[in-house]
Structure 1
Amino acid sequence: MVAWLVWNMTFLPVPPGDHAPFLAFLSPWMTRQRWFANKGANPALEQIGTVTLDSVEPDVEAVTHLVLDHTVGKPALYQVPLTYRREPLANFDALIGEFDGRWVYDAPYDSAYTGALLDAITHGTESRGDHVWAVGKRTASHVAAGLQSRVLTGEQSNTSIIFEHEGETPVICKVFRALHDGENPDVVLQTVLAQAGSTAVPPPVGHIVAEWDDRGEADGRATGHLAFAQEFLPGVQDAWRVALAAAAAGTDFSDEARTLGIATAGVHATLAANMPTSDITPDDIDSVIGSMHRRLADAIAAVPELTRFEPAIRDVFERASQAQWPAQQRIHGDYHLGQVLAVPDRGWVLVDFEGEPLRPMKERSRLDSPMRDIAGMLRSFDYVAGSLAVGGAVPSPEWVGSARAAFEAGYGAASGRDIRHSRTLVDAFELDKALYETVYEARNRPGWLSIPVDAIERLCARVAG
């Protein structure tokens, strides 16, 4: 049953048409947040609209602001949930400041907001605000009451809130900070996998979907997800940390990599059985290869030393265009060891199906080749050894090769598709991923730039040989 949200329309933290003072107040704080992309720039902010959740505390307003940043390039839309209190909270670090007689807080740290957020999801609450409409959708059969919230540290592009209480199944709710028109694959794919009976993803609890004004859309409105809640798996490590520890100790990772390949094949098979697929056409291949060439051009612009590899890379892409391609389907899209959890007595569990964060949401929801996920994981094994080398360690030269081979063997055994017969295609996707990594490292971690550049050199040399 849908619960309708009613709130006092006489209170608006930011009166319609008078957003400039509020945005000037908010701007310095936004530039310091990890999820804000244009760090170091002076934001040019525009408020698109707001929606208010039914706060679990009296006299506290829990307001979600949709704020558009026009600083550079294509405008970026952010979800900025805030709480407004008449009295300041003692010993509370999430204070943004005082505005218009109210104390303003970063809402994910405030129980008044987190309680309202989880209630909106579990009760199917519908909210109509200033140019924004939102509704909760519950997918779990049961969610415990009385869960306490805390923010998970270390997030960058999103904010994750943990809900837990002794004796109850904990929940993690991801608040999407950067919003896009289109369904978020993280919500869609994990929900489909869980409903199909897959144990390779944490069971979803529910989500919030919203509509807002968007001048870039034909009908002037956009639709997307604001938040996604699912079971939280406490005290587990991701596969990156497990693999890193193994490589640092010189411990063979073949068994773990093989079972990871099996799990990956299982997820691909479930997605293919429960979501649309299509045989790839020449136009589809041309589109993918064209995007690879554009990525190469962007990478050379960012790292000119890649010019010496350009003929070899373009040759790999050309060979891939003539290869035999598998059917297109929904995939993970940004697959690496950090997106997999090692869960005792359960095995590998995949998370974070959002796809590459630099790609538009609609592109992330298109059918794609499962070889892209294979290549992403192969690159991740290489990053394990590369990160150790950057830190001054000397990883075993056999470690990466054995892990890669075992992952491919596990995937092939479970899927019936021998990756060795798709080597030309995998090489192209792996080079494409390394070019993506080169641009990322050049912009964010120059000290790690050698990892993808060295990989590009090795791949080109191997293909030429």
Structure 2
Amino acid sequence: MSDTASTRAIRNTPDRPLVTAPDLLSSLVPLLAEWVPRQRWFAGKGRLITGFSLVSATELLPCTGEGTTPGILQLLVRAQQSSPPNRTTVAGDCYQLLLGVHPALPPQLAPAAIGRPSGGPLRGRSVYDALLDNRLCGLLLERLRVPGRIGALRFGREPGTELPSGLPARPIAVEQSNSSVVYGDSFILKIFRRIAPGINPDLELPRALADAKCARVPAPVAWFEAEAAEEGGEATTLGVLQPYLPGSADGWQLALNALAVRADFTGSARALGHATAEVHTALAQTLPTTELHRPQLAAIAARMNARLEATARAVPLLEPYRPRLREAFDALAAVGRDGHSWAAQRIHGDLHLGQTLRSADEGRWSLIDFEGEPARPLAERRRPQPALRDVAAMLRSFDYAARSGPAGGDPWSLEWARRTRDAYCLGYAEAGGLDPSSAPELMRAYETDKAVYEVLYEARHRPDWLGVPMAAVRRLAAGA
């Protein structure tokens, strides 16, 4: 993208001249082209970055002042990547970057370093990941305390909420598809990295559940977003602040702990099924629902088949199982042709044990992270779907735990998975959810689709884990 085009793309921020500098992006491109692909949240792995285009830039704190005070620069950039097989350049995904700018980076922030631009308005200054700097994370919280606008960004806050000042910030070091910061023991801020225009389900659904008085999901306190690029367009959710649940343990670790000592987990799984059904019921009561008939079921099956074909091309290990896996999707389309239909509603969209928390005092389950599968388009994640898709995803998670825990998929752990899966389905049906055993074609199709998604994810991000979803592929291809 040329400097002139970059200037047109930057929103006018008269009180922050840095963001209108025509060479701002071009001076950062060499640094970003090296740093961005190494980040866990970068979705374009395996394809060459050929450049970046600037969507918007906002100087949250001055970045070119004198002294030792760091600045914060918020960017939305679109990564341009080569597209196989002809390797032509295409517009890629849009990412949010929060960059710290420091005259001289302190030694303790060395792991956050991105580099020093050799030209442009930040020439000679240290540019680094602001979300690894406790001080800058604390300043982000202060900005969230005051609703309003700055540059291209708008900050919102739930009326009547208390948001104290001065809470210590603690970035979560675990690499994820997004970035998170914990403030004291009170709040957690999720910063979305790969973004698309529109409200993110991780803001939309928890707000709807709060309206429905559903206590299974922490209600949002504050958020920030980028204003629509065009009149009548949708704003883009960039970050959400929610209550932090200290002392709670995530379901994934609880399951692994149970497997490590060969302990029963059916009681916990049954209670988690109850919690899932309660959330689904509240979403169905609060947000629009629809009915899926033959055309819709055929379209769902077609999308599943398309994902299977694409994944088999990307991961040849899947190819021998492709014909049998297709049978699950074809069976879903067939029941639609026979006149079957299912209700569809808003759902979690990426439900697994790591998206659940159990309180230490009451043993009460909560569901978190309603963003959906980040690799899927935002419009698809916001589309009403059968609630049993979440159930099928959770069944895959129990299988993951059994095959990746200390037992490593031995007969005892596989039996643990079977009993735990059954208990979860029982709890879900007891609490008012559709009995999964009443919709075998739907369950098999969604579990197969999830396993295919996992194969692609592990092949790209964690090749050592590829054997876990491949074991499910073999089981599902055999009709088990």
Coarse TM-score class (shorter-chain normalised): 0.7 to 0.9
Task: Answer yes or no: is the 8 Å Cα contact 1:292–1:317 preserved in 2.
Answer: yes
**Greater displacement, 366-375 / 316-325:** 316-325
One-letter code of the match for 2:164? Answer: A
- Secondary structure, in 3 states, of the residue corresponding to 2:99? strand
Using the TM superposition, give the Cα deviation of residue 204 of structure 1 relative to its aligned residue in structure 2, in angstroms: 1.7
Query: Aligned pair 1:9/2:26, yes or no?
Result: no
Give the AA of the match of 1:148: P
1:170 to 186, 191, 204: 186
Q: Given the superposition, is the C-alpha separation of residues 301 and 25 from structure 1 closer, same or farther in structure 2, using an over 3 Å criterion?
A: closer
Aligned equivalent of 1:3: none
AA in 2 matched with 1:279? E
How many angstroms does 1:161 deviate by? 0.9
Does the alignment pair 1:158 with 2:202? Answer: no
- Alpha-carbon distance, 1:251 to partner: 1.2
The offset of 1:313, in angstroms, is 2.6
Give CA deviations for 1:340-387 in whole Å, capped at 9, x if unaligned: 112122511111111111101111111111111011001111111111
Contact 1:62 1:112 in 2 (8 A): no
What TM-score comes out, normalization by structure 1 length?
A: 0.87
RMSD: 2.8
Q: Following the alignment from structure 1 to structure 2, what is the Cα–Cα distance between the partners of residues 105 and 462?
A: 50
- The farther-off stretch of 310-319 and 143-152 is 310-319
Structure 1 CA distance, aligned partners of 2:24 and 2:263? 61
Q: Secondary structure at the match of 2:73?
A: strand
Letter of the 1:207 partner, please give it.
W
Q: 1:52 aligned to 2:64? A: no
Q: 1:403 aligns to what?
A: 420
Residue of structure 1 in register with 2:468 after alignment: 451
Equivalent position to 2:33, from 27, 37, 44: 27
Instruction: Tell me the alpha carbon deviations over residues 153-189 of structure 1, each in whole angstroms, 9 at most, x when there is no partner.
Output: 113221101111xxxx511101111111121111111
Q: Distance in 2 between matches of 1:462 and 1:155?
A: 35
| 2:356 aligned to which of 308, 316, 340 | 340
Please identify, of 321-330 and 145-154, the stretch whose mean Cα deviation from structure 2 is larger.
Answer: 321-330
2:294 is equivalent to residue 282 of structure 1: yes
1:143 to 163, 168, 173: 163
Instruction: Map residues 180-199 of structure 1 onto 2, 5 A cutoff.
Output: 180-199=196-215
Residue identity (%) = 37
Q: Answer whether contact 2:403 2:409 (CA < 8 A) is retained.
A: no
Distance 1:145 1:298, change over 3 A: same
Q: Is the 8 A contact 1:207 1:227 kept in 2?
A: yes
- Whether the 8 Å CA contact 2:135–2:169 is kept in 1: the answer is no
Give the secondary structure class of the aligned counterpart of 1:37. coil
CA distance in 2, matches of 1:267, 1:360: 23
1:48 partner SS: strand
Distance 2:425 2:74 in 1: 45
CA distance in structure 1 between the aligned counterparts of 2:62 and 2:182, rounded to whole angstroms: 18
Deviation at 1:91, TM superposition (A): 3.5
Q: Against the structure 1 CA distance between its residues 90 and 154, is the aligned structure 2 distance closer, same or farther, given a 3 Å change threshold? A: closer
**TM-score, with normalisation over the residues of structure 2?**
0.85
Amino acid at match of 2:459: A
Using a 3 Å threshold, how does the CA distance of structure 1 residues 8 and 296 change in structure 2: closer, same or farther?
A: closer
Q: 1:343 to 1:31 in 2, by over 3 A?
A: same
Deviation at 1:460, TM superposition (A): 3.5
Shift in CA distance, 20/250, structure 1 to aligned 2, threshold 3 Å: same
Number of residue pairs matched by the alignment: 447
Tell me the distance in 2 between the aligned counterparts of 1:304 and 1:347: 43
SS at match of 2:109: coil
Report the Cα distance in structure 2 between the residues aligned to 1:265 and 1:392, rounded to whole angstroms.
Answer: 29
Q: 2:136 aligns with which of 113, 129, 141?
A: 113
- AA matched with 2:30: A
The equivalent position to 2:74 in structure 1, one of 64, 75, 87, is: 64
Q: Write the mapping of 1:271-310 to structure 2, written as runs, cut at 5 A.
A: 271-310=283-322
